[in-house]
């Protein structure tokens, strides 16, 4: 069911950072929380079908999503290095093969697995840093109305 456009969309409070990022991590629309924001697993829709917000609001959108994905991988690798240091300190004879294999596997698997979430997390961060302007709100409402009219 599409949402209607009203004064609350323009004057009402926007969700806080925590709510926006939680929605992004759950692969939901950061603005309204709708679940159907992906065309398929790795392709984000142009707009949210429920509220009409455009996800790629600026030309460099995917660079931000890439950065989020990269930072998740780097934090994970930092944690793995710290675990290896602790492991090596407790057992000086510990080998290097297992940590190298884990590092290579995570370097390949984590970015692929986390990519869809990085898109919605970055859309949430972008929305938190740059709230929708009046023109974007009207454009989103018009897109929802067009979709609704086309469906009936």
Q: What is the pLDDT of residue 57?
A: 86
Chain-wide mean pLDDT for the chain? 88
Across residues 24-43, what is the average pLDDT? 93
| Residue 99 and residue 80 in contact, taking contact as beta carbons nearer than 8 Å | yes
* Residue 7 pLDDT exceeds 80: no
User: 77-128: per-residue pLDDT in tens?
Assistant: 999 999 999 999 999 898 899 999 999 999 999 999 999 999 999 999 999 9
Helix (H) or strand (E) holding 93: none
Which of 6, 116, 115 shows the shortest CA–CA distance to 51? 6
- pLDDT the model gives residue 132: 87
Q: Is the pLDDT of residue 8 over 90?
A: no
What is the reported pLDDT for 148?
65
More confident site: 1 or 67: 67
- For the cut 70, the answer to whether the pLDDT of residue 47 exceeds it is yes
pLDDT at 69 over 70: yes
Q: What average pLDDT does this structure show over 60-77?
A: 95
Q: What are phi and psi of 124, to 5 degrees?
A: -70, -45
* DSSP conformational letter for 1: -
Task: Report whether pLDDT(9) > 60.
Answer: no
Q: How far apart are CA 41 and CA 38, in angstroms?
A: 6
0.75 exceeded by pTM: yes
**Planar angle of CA 142, 133, 27, nearest 5 degrees:** 75
């Amino acid at each position: 069911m599409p949402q209607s456009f009203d004064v609350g969309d323009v004057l009402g409070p926007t969700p806080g950072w925590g709510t926006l990022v939680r929605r992004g991590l759950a692969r939901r629309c950061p603005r309204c929380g709708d679940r159907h924001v992906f065309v398929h697993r790795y392709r984000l829709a142009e707009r949210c079908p429920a509220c009409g917000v455009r996800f790629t609001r600026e030309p460099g959108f995917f660079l931000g999503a890439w950065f989020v994905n990269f930072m998740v991988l780097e934090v994970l690798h930092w944690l793995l290095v710290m675990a290896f240091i602790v492991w090596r300190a407790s057992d000086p004879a510990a080998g290097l093969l297992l940590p190298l294999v884990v590092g290579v596997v995570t370097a390949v698997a984590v970015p692929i697995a986390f990519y869809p979430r990085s898109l919605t997390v970055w859309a949430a961060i972008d929305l938190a840093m740059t709230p929708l302007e009046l023109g974007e709100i009207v454009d989103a409402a018009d897109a929802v109305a067009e979709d609704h009219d086309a469906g009936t």
